[in-house]
Structure 1
């Protein structure tokens, strides 16, 4: 294991399938909460639209997008 900072960008290395096909909703919620960039969010939204089309998951992704945008505005 490498010595990376606690808040590293390693979570962005997960594919949309890895993030959204977790065995339970808690893991999906946690994986969405760790998305810190719009590119990853867009990829996850596209994946969900192409595969499951679960409205609750799409709403979580939309909520996270709003949070990421507001963080970008604050910087």
Structure 2
């Protein structure tokens, strides 16, 4: 049972496409919830705007941005 790259990969290494093109909404939700920096979040927003423009996904990304900003304010 060795480390398999797809399971040991840090979530911050995921591309916007990997985060937002998951096969089901629960994986997309989890991918958005694990975004921990504004650069990654902005890349995901840009990707979604350029490709699918799904309003529910954009709303989730916006909510995550608010959460990240409030965490920055707490520091």
TM surpasses 0.5: yes
TM-score (normalizing by structure 1): 0.87
1:50 paired with 2:50, answer: yes
In structure 2, how many angstroms separate the alpha carbons of the residues matched to 1:11 and 1:65?
A: 17
| 2:70 equivalent in structure 1 | 70
The equivalent residue for 2:12 is 12
- TM-score, structure 2 length as denominator? 0.87
| Distance in 1, Cα, partners of 2:73 & 2:31 | 23
Three-state SS of the structure 2 residue aligned to 1:66 is helix
Distance in 2 (alpha carbons) for counterparts of 1:74 and 1:11: 23
What number of residue pairs does the alignment pair up?
67
The Cα shift of 1:12 comes to: 1.1
The aligned residue for residue 6 of structure 2 is none
* Aligned equivalent of 2:7: none
Equivalence for 1:31: 31
Cα distance between partner residues in 2 of 1:37 and 1:73 = 14
Which ranges of structure 1 fall in alignment gaps of 5 or more residues?
2-9
